[in-house]
Amino acid sequence: MAISVKGLRKMKETVTAKDVAKLAGVSQSSVSRVYFEGAKVSNKTREKVLTAAKELNYRPNEFARSLITNKTKIIGLVMKGVQNPFYPQVLKQFTIAFKQYGYSVLFIHTNNEEIQSEDVETLLNYNVAGVVITDAIMSLKVAEAFKQNKIPLVFFNRKLDNIDFYSVCCNNLNASRHIAEYLLSKGATNFVYISGNSNASTSLEREKGFSEILKHRNVAYRRYSSDYTYKGGYDTANKIIAEKNMPSAIFAANDIMAFGVMDALRENELKIPADLRIVGFDNIEMASWPTYQLTTWEQPIEKMVETTVDYLLNEIDVYTGLAKAVEIEGVLIERKST
Amino acid sequence: MAISVKGLRKMKETVTAKDVAKLAGVSQSSVSRVYFEGAKVSNKTREKVLTAAKELNYRPNEFARSLITNKTKIIGLVMKGVQNPFYPQVLKQFTIAFKQYGYSVLFIHTNNEEIQSEDVETLLNYNVAGVVITDAIMSLKVAEAFKQNKIPLVFFNRKLDNIDFYSVCCNNLNASRHIAEYLLSKGATNFVYISGNSNASTSLEREKGFSEILKHRNVAYRRYSSDYTYKGGYDTANKIIAEKNMPSAIFAANDIMAFGVMDALRENELKIPADLRIVGFDNIEMASWPTYQLTTWEQPIEKMVETTVDYLLNEIDVYTGLAKAVEIEGVLIERKST
């Protein structure tokens, strides 16, 4: 299935490589050597080509480039939740960071917790240079498909057990231990943890660190299962209130659930922090709004994004398949909710 | 610059078209005819190829396809604001809608109000099938580049003067007239409009419809310039309070600004709606949260997205360059803020 000049001339470009070659007085393959990485060409020829290209406003086609160099400048970014402002923020920062290196972001939205096979097909069909997976999980079988194709992949803000991949997270264990110690120091004696989606590593680790400290100190502790949504936090708080056994502190596994908790408590005339203290996680912009003033754990998004981008660019350059669970320390942001 | 089988074998695919041809016992060009649209092939051959491809788990490469068919399955989506939850919701719905037709979304984030030239270059270099521009503007010169390349483009939730393009908006004039009439019916006598970014068509039209009715009725009306952000609404409300000339109703050009207004008013012990009524625009999920219970205008996102997708798919099929300003009616959502 050879693709001829004719095939390329059919592209929507108004100017083709052939036109540039003609004006520059060089062969067409010289033009392609100038534009398509990894090919040698003399400075003199390069200058001729670039001058002609500028004059004609020639635009090299990314797809032709990718077929010749076997490289694309596309990063696949897989995301599920956009209702939680944390993720749109992550998408924005990745797009800005990759753009600096000439990479564009193919946005893949997945409805399920687990990435659907058609989404994986899309990423493979576009021969993406790398993949970032945020709030979704992936079966071992699917993950291996990327390894087979030597496509570097990073799990961002997620860790997968038994899957040998690179992941970048905030240090959730240290964070939740610190939050428990902090609430103890505030005099809390009866604790509640509200989990996110049960299979999310972030929720499991935040629960682990938090409960570890409390059990060690033998203080009253119980957990409620929720789902990382505002409504989940709101409904859980109403359930706790209905049980008439109020804790003195609640740690919600993310900020958006904490907002739901605060609104439900206030509807029931409960005072924050007088009646009970609330801590969230993420430090999304809304946590600083006067209506919430939520004490929370700031995720070091910039560092997390930077680490992810550095890894991917290195792997794109020379693929090693390096697997490592990178954990970056965040910081407690103290506000009026405690 | 012919691209040979060798060129394609270099792709990261584990299986090549050649392998499929070999197993199917057909020529390689038959394989490409089966996979690359617009090419004829007998049912018998097609069956042989598909069977072999399935057995080998062959994956046709999108870039090879695009070079041969001169079509990509990529839609460029340009977006600026992700802090306003309205836009992540729009991104999600577009991604889901386009996916149904086999199209993927290349996400372009623009920092400036006006789309940067490198973003336009990216869209053209990838020969995108179509473009959706949300909360950003584009110079006439840039817009023409897409016409020259016969790439259909839609301005979503934005209208551009003197630019002959297809746009899909909610009917902002009717909406804001309705909001003015509604607040008058509630007994408001002294009105304030808080604008979004001054050059955004949405803000200009919402102001026009709102002020039109109020001036006609000779009721007190004044405007404040803001920027469609929470902080913008918050700061503007504090400015109004400092001026000691409180209105009886405030219409903020979007919900997120209305939340800032409400929080500032409450910090100053002003009661909503007793002391004054607040109306927003968009009906993002947060508007229904107990802490805000904001009366607002619901943008018909589903219909707006559907209309945009239908137009783009038709133009991708047969390019006509049809320009039209489509306006879809929304509906008032009444809550406790009024």
B10 at A interface, C-beta within 8 A: yes
Q: Are residues B240 and B192 in contact, defined by beta-carbon separation less than 8 angstroms? A: yes
* Sheet of B220-224, strand order: B220-224, B190-194, B249-252, B277-279
Question: What is the band of A36 on the pLDDT scale with cuts at 50, 70, 90?
Answer: low
**Is the C-alpha dihedral spanning B179, B182, B188, B189 positive or negative?**
positive
In 3-state terms, what secondary structure has residue A326? strand
Which region among B30-44, B63-77, B278-292 has the lowest average model confidence (pLDDT)? B30-44
- Token look-up 């490289």 returns A71
- The helix, strand and coil proportions of chain A, stated in percent and rounded to the nearest 5, come to 45, 15, 40
Question: Shortest CB distance from B289 goes to which of A91, A126, A263?
Answer: A263
* pLDDT tens per residue across span B203-250: 999 999 999 999 999 999 999 999 999 999 999 999 999 999 999 999
Residues counted in chain A? 338
Instruction: Find the helix packing angle between A43-56 and A28-35, rounded to 10°.
Output: 90
Cα–Cα distances (Å) from A197 to A226, A252, B20, B237, in that order, read 6, 12, 43, 38
User: What pLDDT does B14 receive?
Assistant: 57
pLDDT of B94 > 50? The answer is yes
User: What pLDDT does B91 receive?
Assistant: 96
- Cis-peptide into A273, omega within 30 deg: yes
Which of A289, A312, A308 lies closest to A300 in space, CA to CA? A308
Residue numbers in B near A293 (CB within 8 A): none
Q: Are residues B166 and B322 in contact, defined by beta-carbon separation less than 8 angstroms? A: yes
User: What pLDDT does A11 receive?
Assistant: 41
- What value does the mean pLDDT take over residues B166-192? 97
- Same CATH topology for A5-60 and A70-170+301-330: the answer is no
pLDDT of A5 > 90? The answer is no
pLDDT of B67 > 70? The answer is no
Give the pTM. Answer: 0.86
Mutate to test the interface with A, among B1, B59, B66 (most CBs of A within 10 A): B1
Which region among A83-87, A273-277, A304-308, B237-241 has the lowest average model confidence (pLDDT)? A83-87
Distance of CA A274 to the CA centre of its chain: 36
Instruction: Give CA–CA dist A285/A221, Å, rounded.
Output: 29
Which of B287, B226, B245 lies closest to B262 in space, CA to CA? B287
User: What pLDDT does B42 receive?
Assistant: 85
Nearest residue of B to residue A14, measured between CA atoms: B149
CATH (one of 3.30.300.30, 3.40.30.10, 3.30.2000.10, 3.40.50.2300) for A172-299: 3.40.50.2300
Q: Are residues B6 and B18 in contact, defined by beta-carbon separation less than 8 angstroms? A: no
A39 at B interface, C-beta within 8 A: no
Residue numbers in A near B128 (CB within 8 A): none
Domain-wise residue ranges, chain A:
5-60, 70-170+301-330, 172-299
- Mean of the per-residue pLDDT values for chain B? 89
CATH (one of 1.20.58.340, 1.10.260.40, 3.40.190.10, 1.10.8.60) for A5-60: 1.10.260.40
User: What pLDDT does A311 receive?
Assistant: 98
Residue pairs spanning A and B at CB distance below 8 A = 195
Question: What is the band of A100 on the pLDDT scale with cuts at 50, 70, 90?
Answer: very high
Q: Are residues B46 and B34 in contact, defined by beta-carbon separation less than 8 angstroms? A: yes
More confident residue, A208 or B18: A208
B96 at A interface, C-beta within 8 A: yes
Nearest residue of A to residue B36, measured between CA atoms: A1
Instruction: Give CA–CA dist B154/B181, Å, rounded.
Output: 32
A15 at B interface, C-beta within 8 A: no
Instruction: Give CA–CA dist B330/B157, Å, rounded.
Output: 13
User: What pLDDT does B160 receive?
Assistant: 79
User: What pLDDT does A90 receive?
Assistant: 96
More confident residue, A104 or A136: A104
Question: Shortest CB distance from A127 goes to which of B61, B264, B290?
Answer: B61
Mutate to test the interface with B, among A6, A10, A12 (most CBs of B within 10 A): A12
* pLDDT tens per residue across span B52-61: 888 887 776 7
Residue numbers in A near B11 (CB within 8 A): 67, 70, 127
Instruction: Give CA–CA dist B277/B254, Å, rounded.
Output: 15
Cα–Cα distances (Å) from B282 to A47, A141, B93, B133, B296, in that order, read 53, 42, 15, 18, 7
B153 at A interface, C-beta within 8 A: no
Question: What is the band of A4 on the pLDDT scale with cuts at 50, 70, 90?
Answer: very low
* pLDDT tens per residue across span A10-33: 344 457 778 888 999 988 778 877
Q: Residue A12 and residue B99: Cβ atoms within 8 Å?
A: no
Which of A242, A178, A172, A183 lies closest to A207 in space, CA to CA? A172
B283 at A interface, C-beta within 8 A: no
User: What pLDDT does A7 receive?
Assistant: 38
Tokens encoding B265: 């008013």
* A70-170+301-330 CATH fold: Rossmann fold (3.40.50)
- Token look-up 């958006």 returns A256
Distance of CA B42 to the CA centre of its chain: 42
Name the range with the highest mean pLDDT among A18-27, A138-147, B63-72, B291-300.
Answer: B291-300
* pLDDT tens per residue across span A139-181: 777 888 899 889 999 999 998 776 789 999 999 999 999 999 9
Query: Residue B108 — φ and ψ, nearest 5°?
Result: -115, 115
HEC sequence for chain B: CCECHHHHHCCCCCCCHHHHHHHHCCCHHHHHHHHCCCCCCCHHHHHHHHHHHHHHCCCCCHHHHHHHHCCCCEEEEEECCCCCCHHHHHHHHHHHHHHCCCCEEEEEECCCCECCHHHHHHHHHCCCCEEEECCCECCHHHHHHHHHCCCCEEEECCCCCCCCCEEEEECHHHHHHHHHHHHHHCCCCEEEEECCCCCCHHHHHHHHHHHHHHHHCCCEEEEECCCCCHHHHHHHHHHHHHCCCCCCEEEECCHHHHHHHHHHHHHCCCCCCCCCEEECCECCHHHHCCCCCCEEEECCHHHHHHHHHHHHHHHHHCCCCCCCEEEECCEEECCCCC
User: What pLDDT does B16 receive?
Assistant: 74
pLDDT of B15 > 80? The answer is no
- What value does the mean pLDDT take over residues B7-18? 53
Q: Are residues B114 and B129 in contact, defined by beta-carbon separation less than 8 angstroms? A: no
Instruction: Give CA–CA dist B17/B102, Å, rounded.
Output: 21
Residues 190-249 on B with a CB inside 8 Å of A are 230, 234
User: What pLDDT does A56 receive?
Assistant: 82
User: What pLDDT does B38 receive?
Assistant: 52
Residue numbers in A near B267 (CB within 8 A): 290
Q: Residue B62 and residue A149: Cβ atoms within 8 Å?
A: no
Q: Are residues B84 and A74 in contact, defined by beta-carbon separation less than 8 angstroms? A: no
User: What pLDDT does B13 receive?
Assistant: 44
Q: Are residues A233 and A203 in contact, defined by beta-carbon separation less than 8 angstroms? A: no
